[in-house]
């Protein structure tokens, strides 16, 4: 395969592959935001505006920041189963199965996370965070140490090499499938390995290659054959007694509880590949023919007809990983399809999914049964279908992307993952990104609570719980996926906070997590309206709860780590003109 045909992982200009040189304009922009953010943090923790070293006027905030910004810039420039999965490969066997009140103080306390001097932090190269992210604060340091220890206990070995992490190491409960390596769960683990001092890149590379290998299996569930690009939800290493060797067993949803198809695994795989490349500058991995093929299969799958219309799959921003032109042949054709899809997706998300006070008021006043292109109420939403809670919840300042949009029905619920990923992937406009962070501040008790972070708000109750969840006892109100609080989400909130120049938000959430998470044994999730109780069926020592915390700390202590996960805006995409007013600001 000639280089011209390759799908390139979007990191730097090709010239930078071996000798990282100047920052791209987008990186410069991110760093300017980060620089601003740090100035804000310093002001917050130093008690602020009376400090003679810090400008009293917020308009001056870039004033004395130039030096810090130059430091960051210099630093970056110089561092720079079942499921019927079967296969004839002797290494693998098919799976045997078939086919509170929000007690958060409004005054920010000095955080252990920012106790270090800014200069020291900024001199640390990308991928490093002091002593593996430890801070000077004793308890936070011991929590970091414990987290690294827990992470290392979770490693899964295959033929002597680390290839992933167990989802949980809870000896107290039934393992179910928590003794497997989940693709999505490994992402924060891999990021922690990449961001730490002396980045531990091997495990990430092994994981990417092993899961890619599993993608190559013929995937049959019942009598259906899954698309070639489908990545497994999870896999495990088992000892095959007949062959007396270790073999891999993968699940493509065929044995998952509820038989849920792993829609997101391929996206996460590409995202992690990009993070690996960004961190290591090792382009040889993404250029391997089998890796090229894997990427193309995933893209073909999510760019196929129907993928853009089926609501649960309308999250195809895995495409935005590839933000450089791919010159020829199938690469070129894929890029064109990606460009078209992102333009349409951006328009759709930014217009139809966006809700703020003004837009809520517009919907409240909608006329119905409109016909033709001039219709304002395009999806014929009946205003009476707006749930009462939205009117209470919506602040004057702030806004968010709602859960789903379909004819005559809008799911007005807040979902943290979608909102943060929209920010990190630039699907949100800058003013929408700011408004999302405003909303989090305005509705802190509801969205962050006592133990961060609510996965969705509000919980479904009564009739809605019965009809939507099918009376699922695990998803009772304010539990698990139905308004439960998931510590793993801390890393996403932190990344979005830093990207929007609002790291204080992450810092506040980290402080809450530091009060309980380790003491509670790193549970998978918390229950209750403010997330006060350890989840009913939550596993303890859930690996991604551990690494969600680690990644959040590694980013807050060294904001340049954000570049490993945040995507840059593709300037080429025509920005849809927003017809609605941006969120209300004072």
Question: Site residues (CB under 6 A) for ligand GLC?
Answer: 167, 178, 182, 184-185
Q: Cβ closer to ligand GLC: 184 or 220? A: 184
**Cα dist from 443 to 415, 434, 447, 449, 582, whole Å:** 13, 14, 6, 9, 19
- Smallest gap from Cβ 91 to ligand GLC, in A, equals 24
Buried b (16+ CB within 10 A) or exposed e, 485-517: bbbbbbbbbbbbbbbbbbbbbbbbbbbbbbebb
Contact (Cβ atoms closer than 8 angstroms) between residue 298 and residue 21 = no
- Smallest gap from Cβ 464 to ligand GLC, in A, equals 20
- Smallest gap from Cβ 205 to ligand GLC, in A, equals 22
| Structure tokens belonging to residue 72 | 């960051």
- Smallest gap from Cβ 234 to ligand GLC, in A, equals 7
Q: CB neighbours of 318 closer than 8 A, spacing ≥ 6? A: 266, 267, 270, 271, 298, 299, 302
- Smallest gap from Cβ 147 to ligand GLC, in A, equals 17
Q: Cβ closer to ligand GLC: 112 or 254? A: 254
For tokens 């987008």, the residue is 26
Q: Cβ closer to ligand GLC: 352 or 465? A: 465
- Smallest gap from Cβ 241 to ligand GLC, in A, equals 27
Q: Cβ closer to ligand GLC: 97 or 115? A: 97
Q: Cβ closer to ligand GLC: 184 or 499? A: 184
Q: What is the DSSP letter of 560?
A: G
- Smallest gap from Cβ 98 to ligand GLC, in A, equals 20
Q: What is the DSSP letter of 254?
A: S
DSSP-based helix, strand, coil % in the chain, nearest 5? 45, 10, 45
- Provide the H-helix boundaries in 224-288: 265-280, 284-287
**Euclidean distance between CA atoms 440 and 442, whole angstroms:** 6
For tokens 């290998």, the residue is 213
Q: How many CB atoms lie within 10 A of CB 453?
A: 27
The candidate with the shortest Cα–Cα distance to 218, out of 82, 95, 96, 84, is: 84
Q: Cβ closer to ligand GLC: 158 or 178? A: 178
**Euclidean distance between CA atoms 562 and 30, whole angstroms:** 9
First vs last C-alpha separation in the chain: 56
Contact (Cβ atoms closer than 8 angstroms) between residue 304 and residue 337 = no
Q: Which residue minimizes CB distance to ligand GLC?
A: 167
Q: Cβ closer to ligand GLC: 107 or 260? A: 260
Q: Cβ closer to ligand GLC: 107 or 257? A: 257
**Euclidean distance between CA atoms 365 and 431, whole angstroms:** 24
- Smallest gap from Cβ 255 to ligand GLC, in A, equals 12
**Euclidean distance between CA atoms 270 and 273, whole angstroms:** 5
- Smallest gap from Cβ 525 to ligand GLC, in A, equals 9
Q: Cβ closer to ligand GLC: 130 or 232? A: 232
Contact (Cβ atoms closer than 8 angstroms) between residue 455 and residue 417 = yes
Q: Cβ closer to ligand GLC: 134 or 188? A: 188
- Smallest gap from Cβ 430 to ligand GLC, in A, equals 30
- Provide the H-helix boundaries in 79-133: 118-123
User: What is the rounded radius of gyration, in angstroms, for the C-alpha atoms of the chain?
Assistant: 23
**Euclidean distance between CA atoms 365 and 153, whole angstroms:** 56
- Smallest gap from Cβ 178 to ligand GLC, in A, equals 6
Q: Cβ closer to ligand GLC: 42 or 270? A: 270
Q: Cβ closer to ligand GLC: 40 or 215? A: 215
**Euclidean distance between CA atoms 549 and 132, whole angstroms:** 13
| Structure tokens belonging to residue 70 | 């130059």
Q: Cβ closer to ligand GLC: 331 or 484? A: 484
Q: Cβ closer to ligand GLC: 182 or 412? A: 182
- Smallest gap from Cβ 461 to ligand GLC, in A, equals 20
Q: CB neighbours of 134 closer than 8 A, spacing ≥ 6? A: 140, 141, 144, 145
**Euclidean distance between CA atoms 10 and 298, whole angstroms:** 16
- Smallest gap from Cβ 489 to ligand GLC, in A, equals 11
The candidate with the shortest Cα–Cα distance to 269, out of 335, 187, 180, is: 187
Peptide bond preceding 138 in cis form (omega within 30 of 0): no
Q: Cβ closer to ligand GLC: 414 or 544? A: 544
- Smallest gap from Cβ 19 to ligand GLC, in A, equals 39
The candidate with the shortest Cα–Cα distance to 549, out of 121, 202, 34, 129, is: 129
- Smallest gap from Cβ 167 to ligand GLC, in A, equals 4
């Amino acid at each position: 395969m000639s280089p011209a045909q390759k799908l390139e992982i979007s990191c730097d200009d090709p010239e930078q592959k071996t000798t990282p040189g100047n920052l791209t304009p987008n990186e410069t922009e991110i760093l300017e935001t980060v620089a601003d953010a740090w100035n804000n943090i310093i002001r917050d923790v130093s008690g602020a505006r009376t400090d003679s070293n810090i400008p009293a006027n917020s308009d001056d905030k870039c004033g004395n920041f130039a030096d810090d910004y130059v430091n960051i810039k210099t630093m970056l420039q110089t561092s720079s189963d079942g499921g019927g999965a079967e296969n004839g490969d002797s290494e693998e066997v098919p799976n045997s199965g078939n086919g509170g009140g929000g007690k958060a103080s409004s005054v920010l306390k000095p955080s252990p996370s920012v106790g270090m001097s800014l200069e020291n932090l900024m001199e640390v190269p990308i991928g490093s965070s002091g002593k593996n992210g430890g801070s000077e604060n004793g308890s936070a340091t011991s929590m970091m140490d414990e987290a690294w220890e827990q992470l290392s206990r979770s490693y899964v070995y295959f033929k002597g090499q680390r290839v992933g992490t167990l989802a949980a190491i809870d000896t107290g409960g039934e393992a179910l499938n928590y003794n497997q390596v989940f693709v999505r769960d490994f992402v924060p683990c891999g990021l922690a390995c990449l961001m730490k001092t002396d980045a531990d890149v091997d495990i990430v590379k092994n994981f990417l290659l092993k899961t890619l290998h599993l993608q190559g299996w013929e995937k049959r569930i019942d009598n259906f054959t899954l698309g070639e690009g489908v990545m497994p939800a999870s896999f495990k290493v088992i000892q095959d007694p007949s062959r007396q060797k270790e073999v891999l067993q993968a699940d493509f949803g065929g044995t998952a509880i509820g038989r849920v198809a792993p829609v997101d695994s391929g996206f996460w795989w590409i995202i992690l590949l990009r993070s690996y490349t960004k961190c290591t500058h090792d382009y040889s991995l993404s250029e391997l023919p089998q890796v090229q093929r894997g990427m193309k299969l995933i893209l073909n799958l999510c760019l196929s007809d129907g993928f853009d219309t089926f609501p649960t799959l309308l999250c195809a921003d895995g495409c935005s990983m590839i933000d450089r032109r791919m010159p020829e042949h199938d690469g070129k054709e894929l890029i064109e399809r990606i460009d078209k899809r992102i333009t349409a997706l951006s328009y759709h998300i930014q217009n139809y999914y966006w809700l703020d006070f003004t837009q809520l008021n517009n919907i409240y006043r909608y006329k119905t049964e409109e016909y033709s292109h001039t219709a304002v109420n395009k999806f014929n939403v009946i205003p009476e279908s707006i749930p009462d809670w939205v009117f209470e919840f919506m602040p004057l300042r702030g806004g968010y992307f709602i859960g789903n949009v379909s004819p005559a029905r809008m799911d007005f619920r807040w979902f943290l993952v979608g909102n943060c990923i929209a920010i990190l992937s630039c699907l949100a406009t800058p003013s929408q990104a700011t408004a999302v962070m405003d909303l989090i501040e305005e509705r802190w008790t509801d969205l962050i609570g006592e133990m961060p972070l609510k996965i969705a708000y509000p919980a479904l109750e009564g009739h809605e719980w019965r009809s939507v969840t099918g009376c699922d006892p695990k998803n009772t109100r304010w539990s698990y996926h139905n308004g439960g609080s998931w510590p793993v989400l801390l890393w996403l909130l932190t990344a979005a906070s830093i990207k929007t120049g609002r790291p204080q938000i992450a810092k506040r959430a980290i402080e809450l997590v530091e009060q309980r998470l380790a003491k509670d044994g790193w549970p998978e999730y918390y229950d209750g309206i403010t997330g006060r109780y350890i989840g009913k069926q939550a596993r303890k020592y859930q690996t991604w709860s551990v690494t969600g915390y680690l990644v959040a700390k590694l980013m807050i202590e060294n904001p340049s780590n954000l570049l490993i996960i945040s995507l840059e805006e593709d300037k080429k995409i025509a920005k849809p003109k927003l017809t609605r007013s941006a969120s209300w600001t004072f």
